[in-house]
A and B are shown apart, each in its own frame.
Chain A
Amino acid sequence: MDLHTLTIHEAHEHLKNRDFSARELTQALLKRIEEVEPKVKAYITLTPEKALNEAEQADKMIASGETTPLTGIPLAIKDVLSTEGITTTCGSKILSNFVPVYDATVVHHLKKAGAITLGKVNMDEFAMGSSTENSAFGPSRNPWDLSTIPGGSSGGSAAAVAADECIASLGTDTGGSIRQPASCCGVVGLKPTYGRVSRFGLIAFGSSLDQVGPLTKDVRDAALLMNVLAGYDPRDSTSVNSEVPDYTAFLKSDLKGITIGVAKEYFIEGIDPEVEKAVKEALQVLQGLGAKIVDISLPHTEYALPVYYLIAPAEASSNLARYDGVKYGFRAGKDENLIAMYKKTRSEGFGAEVKRRIMLGTYALSAGYYDAYYGKASQVRTLIRRDFEKAFKKCDVIVTPTAPTPAFKIGEKADDPLQMYLSDIFTIPVNLAGIAGISIPGGLTRNRLPIGLQVISGPFEEGKVLQTAFAYEQNTEWHVKKPKL
């Protein structure tokens, strides 16, 4: 048995039956990492010793019968989530030496459940990007084709899962950063409703958009991780205090009583014909499982991209003001005055895309332009949210492509920010509206690149997303296909 290929629920059964120990499972993953990591480059920091110590603890928990579904499961954590005592870089030179003194709430929850951390995975700097090419530590590779991008910003999280370099991983999603890489790498990625999962210890990019979520090998694993991640946290004032259901209870293999909305605005010019075909075939499968398909309209979809690229950089420009070379992180030079030190530190510490977004955001918020840019964008955001509210009166979930194209070549869009931004055209509206969305494997192109299928629900309806995704997955084979490495 190749232990590294197991899902969370499969590994859990074996651990419970004592077929192997958490230590053996962790060693198998570390060996797999050693073999394929030089090709995939998913990790920024590996913590093998810590992982083996945690495995020993997990084996004790198992021996005493105190297991949770995550006990002894080796995971990878996106390097934007604070981990006590483990360097947390955010993919940036400016935090290259930053060692958090506390754990993010989600990391704390995972540890309490007995999960094991293998290391911290690569990402676009400060989660800004769709390819991991903006990482200060170099890009990760798509395990399906090493010359293509793994998506981003959680590209390391998605590549690590697809390459079996972890059992599952955590990512974050501000405009598609979990779902788009999941789509590129042929894995499952769930962005929960805004407020469902604590953001405490998540290094902020766009505070009104950021959410933490799981990247997994199948839908059941996403539900299992959501059971641990979701919940109210008094340390995050935007976390919502509503009951957390058992997400595995939604995993049924039919869709009787579910109405699926299809929006014409998501089948636009520029969408790859293979992607369009895959999504239309998926809709037939879903219909065959008992779902009712209805046409809906989300008329403000075309404005989501400009709205996002005003709001997210505006929030980022203010969030990233804290990197000034004083309290933590990198500091440049010995300077004669404070302003010069700030400028040197920030100019040397941040990469080009981060600087571009800080500039855009600063401009959008600056005197004389606020109303025309940030103000206008916030109003159109309301219209986008209302589109979804109206649509969900007619349907339970909406099915769309996750991204307009499969993974593109490394370097292909590096010089054209606007082209790169278009990768997130189908995922961004979900963040703006604060609702939930999942990407699941929904096909392979002729060139054997994964195609992602997105299922979207209203706020706190992750159960419906998981039900639809699970039913589709149980009746198709895409999720069991593996890249050849």
Chain B
Amino acid sequence: MKITRDQVEHIALLARLEFSEKEIEAFTRQMDNILTYFDKLKEVDTTSVEPTSHAIQVKNVFREDEAKKSIALDLSLKNAPEKEGNCFRVPKIIE
């Protein structure tokens, strides 16, 4: 096995997802299949090959540090599931 049930549960926590018992089982099996398929990459010799993170090479892009018009406060809060005053409202974080 490439991946265990415990690992799947740990990754779920990292990804902020939760699953039923049945789903964990299915995910473990499917991820195991997919990860086994990925083993194919081990055949390729990549000694001293630079990784590509962007296909078209762009260097850092800078612009002048000028203040420009941004989205108005009421618009930026428009899609919030819960808000209070000018803030996004979330469950209590600090006891």
| Contacts from A to B (Cβ < 8 Å) | 97-99, 101-102, 193-195, 208, 234, 237-238, 240, 300, 302-303, 306-307, 309-310, 317, 321, 324-331, 334-344, 346-347, 350, 355-356, 358-360, 362-363, 366, 373, 375-383, 385, 417-418, 432-435, 459
Distance in angstroms between the alpha carbons of A321 and B14 in the assembled complex: 10
- Provide the residues of chain B in CB contact with A433, threshold 8 Å: 55
When the two chains form their complex, are residues A383 and B46 in contact, meaning their CB atoms are under 8 A apart?
yes
Interface SS majority for chain B: loop
Return 15 A-B CB contacts under 8 Å, by A number.
A97-B79, A101-B78, A195-B56, A234-B63, A238-B54, A240-B58, A309-B34, A321-B16, A341-B90, A342-B16, A359-B12, A377-B41, A378-B52, A379-B49, A383-B46
Best-buried of B12, B17, B88, B93 by chain A (most CB within 10 Å)? B17
Shortest Cβ distance from residue B61 to the other chain A in the assembled complex, whole angstroms? 4
Interface residues on B, range: 35 or more
Distance in angstroms between the alpha carbons of A194 and B53 in the assembled complex: 12
Distance in angstroms between the alpha carbons of A300 and B44 in the assembled complex: 9
Q: A329-B79, A373-B38, A382-B50 are in contact. Are A355 and B17 (CB under 8 A)?
A: yes
Distance in angstroms between the alpha carbons of A337 and B14 in the assembled complex: 16
- Provide the residues of chain B in CB contact with A300, threshold 8 Å: 44
Which residues B1-54 have CB closer than 8 A to chain A? 3, 7-8, 11-12, 14-19, 27, 30-31, 33-35, 37-38, 40-44, 46, 49-54
| Contacts from B to A (Cβ < 8 Å) | 3, 7-8, 11-12, 14-19, 27, 30-31, 33-35, 37-38, 40-44, 46, 49-56, 58, 61, 63, 71, 75-76, 78-82, 88, 90-93
When the two chains form their complex, are residues B91 and A341 in contact, meaning their CB atoms are under 8 A apart?
yes
When the two chains form their complex, are residues A366 and B14 in contact, meaning their CB atoms are under 8 A apart?
yes
Distance in angstroms between the alpha carbons of A238 and B60 in the assembled complex: 9
Interface SS majority for chain A: helix
When the two chains form their complex, are residues B61 and A237 in contact, meaning their CB atoms are under 8 A apart?
yes
Q: A102-B71, A208-B53, A303-B41 are in contact. Are A343 and B91 (CB under 8 A)?
A: no
- Provide the residues of chain B in CB contact with A97, threshold 8 Å: 79
When the two chains form their complex, are residues B46 and A363 in contact, meaning their CB atoms are under 8 A apart?
no
Distance in angstroms between the alpha carbons of A358 and B8 in the assembled complex: 12
Chain B, residue nearest A354 (CB)? B17
When the two chains form their complex, are residues B34 and A378 in contact, meaning their CB atoms are under 8 A apart?
no
Distance in angstroms between the alpha carbons of A366 and B53 in the assembled complex: 17
When the two chains form their complex, are residues A432 and B55 in contact, meaning their CB atoms are under 8 A apart?
yes
When the two chains form their complex, are residues A208 and B80 in contact, meaning their CB atoms are under 8 A apart?
no
Selected contact of A358 from candidates B15, B34, B55, CB within 8 Å:
B15
Shortest Cβ distance from residue A305 to the other chain B in the assembled complex, whole angstroms? 8
Chain A, residue nearest B27 (CB)? A359
- Provide the residues of chain A in CB contact with B46, threshold 8 Å: 376, 379-380, 383
Chain A, residue nearest B39 (CB)? A306
Distance in angstroms between the alpha carbons of A313 and B30 in the assembled complex: 15
When the two chains form their complex, are residues B80 and A326 in contact, meaning their CB atoms are under 8 A apart?
yes
When the two chains form their complex, are residues A208 and B44 in contact, meaning their CB atoms are under 8 A apart?
no
Selected contact of A356 from candidates B30, B63, B75, CB within 8 Å:
B30
When the two chains form their complex, are residues A99 and B91 in contact, meaning their CB atoms are under 8 A apart?
no
Chain A, residue nearest B49 (CB)? A379
